[in-house]
Structure 1
């Protein structure tokens, strides 16, 4: 299993140069309850519309949503749809869009009419000129793209066959990228893989691959066999064939074939899933991740994308939830990170009629004494919040050399306990501010305290709560454990 946290940290340092066919995706949602009296066609009662950046623009959005930077080059017409796309892309802080205007063509626009109740596409209307760019525009694209190459870690060509990626543009970009040592990923549309010659990776879907190789492409073995000639023709390092619910199969020129099955999810909308896969592959491979890691991340991202309506982008947080085991996610999600999250969670619990408890401490080295207090505390309430002294606070209270573990490590250990429902790190020497914000129904401390010495007891009791003192287990103390360890080391 790969280290997702390390991969995520590496992704945000990458820049992807994405070139391809930009389009405006519109979704018209409504209900259908009758047939038109004018013609045998259903009538949709429009309830709402949504507009998204589509095509290669959606690839760029997915790159940015994962935290990487994207330099995006595409074509727009000199029309209202082009203006809307330009404005939308300008709002994306991690996307630097360089759009070449072409007055001879409309901005590609696709309008999908969707039954809200059944989530089914009824009709799609397209405005487009699916022809190669003119020689003049072609040269403008090349002159725009090539100076941007040195700034990129990887290049992604997203071909929708709408005119941007002509054979000449593709050839110039791939050749220049190879001279600079930049990997090139191609999401191809042409069945002639030779025009992508020199790319690092081609990512056709099963239908595209079958047409390009004139093979069945209906099994891992048949894909692997057909890919050998295709890789020779395209002079690429690998071919990845995406197969929707059947997963993905990667055939490298050297090494074993890798097949990753698809995640079992309820498919809502497949629009843009291929864009998500291409984007994730690009950012993962830009970090020098191996083939299998890139595939597994891309498969997880595809599962997130198809479970959403419309042209979807996938965030790093969504990807994390899909990849990491539930136990690991559950523990981390217990640690409050954003101001306001604490109050929101407490309010939600109170609305459910749940009794909220609170205890606090340094919990530097968790021992049976701590576990006893936490277990008893959880038994006295429905949800237990633990206030954790920050590193600076522990140092002030315990002196130099403490804490032994930093606050994040201590928080993760506490969050892994079933008895603990929420962990909140506080900077002060006492948790009085936390207690004031929470106003717990029960305040719990070890029996080495008296009720009057428990910080916040007045607030809790004034609001009808109680203070619970738990008998400590003799012989267990973090300070004594640290002292003993230091004596043994000496």
Structure 2
């Protein structure tokens, strides 16, 4: 799948409406310096330095959905307690709609408190987790209120997410009511299931996303290979009458099973810091991408990328569209480097403009790279975030400099420029002047050397007519490709005598 397709999809998702139904939790983190062993028992003494709170479970999915630019309505329950108030405040701060969360006196807000030791005041290590929860089903009256709230919001949403952590909310008959109502309303239902052997309550959903361990438990055999994932996903899809199954395979990516068959969607192995929240991110990204019009394969590619970014962060963390775009661009540059054709370059520059980054353009032959070139390009980088270098092709250089030039071919010259930290993109052009390229790039700043002050800078009128400006860069005296070539020729004409004993 082309990176341009992924870029176009992720930047045009819009603001679809996602209904998240599930177990809403508060994730609490107590950080402290690990000082000594307690005299009371062989346990660590922790001096608390700070506390942090964020949404977990379905609340994590909601935060992920909103961070990706979608709208989110939360359906579930919280306790009428301080943890519930804190969780509601967190969700409201991230702009999630909490009007569908029932406040109950009969059960506490699920709170997972993690105690984190800070070795040498900075290296994090989780020491203990304390869970406060009730995993019993709701009362009949509670379910009546839950379903009424769900049906009130169903018509306005684009997709439904069920996030089940086995905390009692998804009683089988209630789960089936949620799925049937959504399917009758032509709303896709995406399920992140819990660890368990019986998934019959998810029958008829659009898609489920069990991880490797959950899939193994559900099908009764270990999912260790891609072939195992293929067999397991086909079994689940047939058994539960699902449109698709996505088995997440940690560093191996995911396996997608649909009516058209199965396919492995690989990912790039990451430096995993914390897997907490990876499943939430997978569900949220799939939901937003599908609701935004992406096909299933594209949505899963984006979800793979987002989940990979998430596991490199500590705790439950969100991932933005910008981070996904940067990852896509980074992967592409890892294959092609900074040297781009103009069509590809324009796509990437459109993204940079959306980030309000200043685009600087300059051009030249850059034959026999020298200190003057380096200082000149460093000057360009000081003017903006993105430096694009238009490089004259070999044919163009011959027209300008004569048949003996260039000394280095266009591929070598481009490769050298691409290795400079101050250069972001290199694009080769054949014309004797860069006007066509300048109109395609449409830079905010056009840079030429001071020696062009009296010559007339090509592209000045176009750049200034579009609100940009032209800057003349200072030159390093006595440094030029022509002078360097002349010195080399002199050396060749008068080689030093060598002494042979």
Same fold (TM over 0.5): yes
Asked if 1 retains the 8 angstrom alpha-carbon contact of 2:14 and 2:292, the reply is no
Asked if 2 retains the 8 angstrom alpha-carbon contact of 1:12 and 1:66, the reply is no
Q: Counterpart of 2:9?
A: 7
Q: Counterpart of 2:128?
A: 123
Q: The residue matched to 2:107 in structure 1 has which SS?
A: coil
Q: Counterpart of 1:100?
A: 102
Q: CA deviation at 1:301?
A: 1.0
**1:207-254 superposed Cα distances (whole Å, 9 cap, x missing partner):** 1111111112222222322333322331111221112223211222x2
**Residue segments in structure 1 that go unaligned for 5+ positions in a row:** 343-352, 387-402, 412-423, 436-441, 472-490
Q: Counterpart of 2:495?
A: none
| Cα distance change, pair 224–385 in 1 and its aligned pair in 2 (3 A) | closer
Asked if 1 retains the 8 angstrom alpha-carbon contact of 2:237 and 2:257, the reply is no
Q: CA deviation at 1:89?
A: 1.2
Asked if 1 retains the 8 angstrom alpha-carbon contact of 2:102 and 2:146, the reply is yes
Q: Counterpart of 2:441?
A: 410
Distance in 2 between residues matched to 1:147 and 1:338, nearest whole Å: 38
Q: Counterpart of 1:28?
A: 30
Instruction: Say which of 262, 271, 276 aligns to 1:271.
Output: 276
Q: The residue matched to 2:29 in structure 1 has which SS?
A: strand
Q: Counterpart of 1:304?
A: 309
Asked if 1 retains the 8 angstrom alpha-carbon contact of 2:13 and 2:293, the reply is no
Check if 1:158 corresponds to 2:163.
yes
Q: Counterpart of 1:55?
A: 57
Q: CA deviation at 1:9?
A: 3.8
| Cα distance change, pair 329–177 in 1 and its aligned pair in 2 (3 A) | farther
Distance in 2 between residues matched to 1:296 and 1:94, nearest whole Å: 25
Asked if 2 retains the 8 angstrom alpha-carbon contact of 1:187 and 1:278, the reply is yes
Instruction: Say which of 207, 210, 213 aligns to 2:213.
Output: 207
Q: Counterpart of 1:486?
A: none
Q: The residue matched to 1:116 in structure 2 has which SS?
A: strand
If the length of structure 2 is used for normalisation, what is the TM-score?
A: 0.70
Q: The residue matched to 1:31 in structure 2 has which SS?
A: strand
Q: Counterpart of 2:80?
A: 78
Q: CA deviation at 1:69?
A: 1.5
| Cα distance change, pair 260–139 in 1 and its aligned pair in 2 (3 A) | same
Q: CA deviation at 1:467?
A: 9.8
Asked if 1 retains the 8 angstrom alpha-carbon contact of 2:19 and 2:74, the reply is yes
Q: CA deviation at 1:316?
A: 0.6
**Residue segments in structure 2 that go unaligned for 5+ positions in a row:** 339-344, 360-374, 402-412, 426-434, 481-501
**1:21-74 superposed Cα distances (whole Å, 9 cap, x missing partner):** 111101222332421111111122323322111110110111111111212212
Q: Counterpart of 1:439?
A: none
Q: Counterpart of 2:227?
A: 221
Q: The residue matched to 2:155 in structure 1 has which SS?
A: helix
Aligned-pair Cα RMSD in Å: 4.1
Q: CA deviation at 1:96?
A: 5.5
Asked if 1 retains the 8 angstrom alpha-carbon contact of 2:233 and 2:247, the reply is no
Q: CA deviation at 1:341?
A: 7.1
Check if 1:89 corresponds to 2:87.
no
| Cα distance change, pair 285–385 in 1 and its aligned pair in 2 (3 A) | closer
| Cα distance change, pair 246–410 in 1 and its aligned pair in 2 (3 A) | closer
Distance in 1 between residues matched to 2:56 and 2:183, nearest whole Å: 28
Asked if 2 retains the 8 angstrom alpha-carbon contact of 1:357 and 1:385, the reply is no
Asked if 2 retains the 8 angstrom alpha-carbon contact of 1:357 and 1:382, the reply is no
Q: CA deviation at 1:269?
A: 1.0
Q: The residue matched to 2:260 in structure 1 has which SS?
A: coil
Q: The residue matched to 2:379 in structure 1 has which SS?
A: strand
Q: Counterpart of 1:357?
A: 379
Asked if 2 retains the 8 angstrom alpha-carbon contact of 1:18 and 1:73, the reply is yes
Check if 1:289 corresponds to 2:294.
yes
Q: CA deviation at 1:355?
A: 8.1
Distance in 2 between residues matched to 1:134 and 1:206, nearest whole Å: 33
Q: CA deviation at 1:193?
A: 1.2
Distance in 1 between residues matched to 2:247 and 2:103, nearest whole Å: 33
Instruction: Say which of 448, 452, 457 aligns to 1:446.
Output: 452
Distance in 2 between residues matched to 1:329 and 1:137, nearest whole Å: 57
If the length of structure 1 is used for normalisation, what is the TM-score?
A: 0.72
Distance in 2 between residues matched to 1:299 and 1:136, nearest whole Å: 40
Q: The residue matched to 1:109 in structure 2 has which SS?
A: strand
| Cα distance change, pair 95–323 in 1 and its aligned pair in 2 (3 A) | farther
Aligned residues: 408
Asked if 1 retains the 8 angstrom alpha-carbon contact of 2:115 and 2:128, the reply is yes
